[in-house]
Homo-oligomer: A and B are copies of this chain.
């Protein structure tokens, strides 16, 4: 799905995005991620750790070659270690460090590196203090977390009890971290990534990302054909599509001898110019954060009236830290009586035109803006499925509106996903309409 502008496909087998840059100048290292846990093999847990690690490695210019998930079995873990060390220089392991009997990563690593477990007195004291402060009984299984392999470097766990471990052998690095996301992320950020970039002299990486909406990936790619052709070898373009919008990322790899930052900036400006009509933002932040920045910069406030999106628009907006500065609130008017009573939507109009209609979202937006006394108000009404459809209004039929005191702009959509993604897509489109209205107040008009 990610299209990469690579001039020649004659690259060594490797992560294609980073492969083959400045051969000879920089050390080229590869990484594998091994996630350990039965919960990954029965679908209990979504592997968010690997995605987070992949993103951070990519930002630091460390190419990820493979991601592997195995169960809590010694042989499975050992086989994965043997295999991935053939592919990669750095093996990052998560999971299997907890206090229960199925957490066996530490023992497996001890055996793998021919070392033994010893009690670390500092860790033991920390555990005793922690359990005392929480007023919990300290079980034998908890105290075992103070035991660490003798030959490893300990990575402190500021967020929990299981320490991380850094092993080296034959020039290869093996890092074992807990599977708890916050603990793993803290270790990666404060210790593992800085140590890796230092240890392997990774390249300087410059990323610049912009967000577009309103044009499909293949049409954007067609427009950028010439742009891609003139890109220097050291700068790559990636297409990162999502529901309702498309991110484009320029990446520059520097050997230290050229001013990569300026080079990427130059091409990024060209990209911004070519995509000016569909540009949503020139940085890599969420759509909600884009809307939030615009609202905050212009000292504008926002209210939301949600029917079909059921709170999702408000939820997305309030995920952004500091959103209370511009987001006043939402009326989730799921029941029609709430639309009539709280938002002041006209009952007879709804009876005549239906609740999923242009006039309904107009009145909802106007009502929310009036009630919450804001500059802007968004509204949604639609049929998210699986039930509720009629012949005229199939599942996915959705109306969105924005009120700003001057005009009431509406959009109609026909989503084709399941309930969850219909709700999400409608919410994203509502926030995109707000961004468009703030960016180009003169150009917005009703589209169906």
- Chain B positions within 8 Å of A321 at CB level: 385-387, 419
Selecting from A61-69, A169-177, A193-201, the interface stretch reads A61-69
Which of A1, A4, A53, A76 has the most CB atoms of chain B within a 10 A radius of its CB?
A1
Interface residues of A in 388-438 (CB under 8 A from B): 417-421, 423
Q: Is there contact, CB below 8 Å, between A47 and B43? A: no
Copies in the complex: 2
> A328, B334: Cβ atoms under 8 Å?
yes
- Stretch in A263-271, A292-300, A306-314 with 4+ CB within 8 Å of B: A306-314
Q: List 13 A-B contacts (CB under 8 A).
A: A2-B37, A2-B42, A4-B38, A13-B75, A14-B73, A43-B50, A43-B51, A43-B52, A182-B421, A306-B311, A310-B319, A324-B334, A328-B334
Query: Given A41-B64, A68-B68, do A335 and B331 touch, yes or no (CB 8 Å)?
Result: no
Which of B44, B310, B385 lies in contact with A317, CB distance below 8 A? B310
How many whole Å from A110's CB to the nearest CB in chain B?
A: 17
A219–B262 alpha-carbon span in the complex (Å)? 58
**9 closest Cβ contacts across the A-B interface?**
A310-B318, A43-B55, A311-B314, A43-B54, A311-B311, A13-B75, A330-B332, A67-B69, A311-B315
Identify 5 new A-B residue pairs, CB closer than 8 A, beyond the known A46-B47, A315-B423. Answer: A2-B38, A13-B79, A14-B73, A17-B42, A41-B66
Distance from A333 Cβ to chain B, minimum over Cβ atoms (Å):
5
Are B16 and A338 in contact (CB-based, < 8 A)? no
CB distance from A361 to the nearest CB of B (A): 16
- Which label, helix, strand, loop or mixed, suits the secondary structure of the A interface? mixed
Q: Say yes or no: B45 contacts A51, CB within 8 Å.
A: yes
Q: A93-111 interface mask toward B, CB cutoff 8 Å, 1 = contact, 0 = none?
A: 0010011111100000000
Q: Does A329 contact B324, Cβ atoms closer than 8 Å?
A: no
**B43 A56 Cβ-Cβ under 8 A:** yes
- Chain A residues at the B interface, C-beta cutoff of 8 Å: 1-4, 13-17, 37-48, 50-58, 63-73, 75-76, 79-80, 83, 95, 98-103, 139, 141, 179, 182, 217-218, 221, 238, 240, 304, 306, 310-315, 317-319, 321-324, 327-335, 337-338, 341-342, 371-373, 385-387, 417-421, 423
The residue from B41, B83, B218, B324 contacting A54, defined by CB atoms under 8 A apart: B41
CA distance A47 to B67 in the complex (A): 11
Chain B, residue nearest A313 (CB) = B311
A215 to chain B, nearest CB (A): 13
Q: Which residue of B lies closest to A104 (CB)?
A: B9
* Chain B: minimal CB distance from A143 (Å): 13
**Contact residue among B40, B72, B101, B338 (Cβ-Cβ distance under 8 Å from A372):** B338
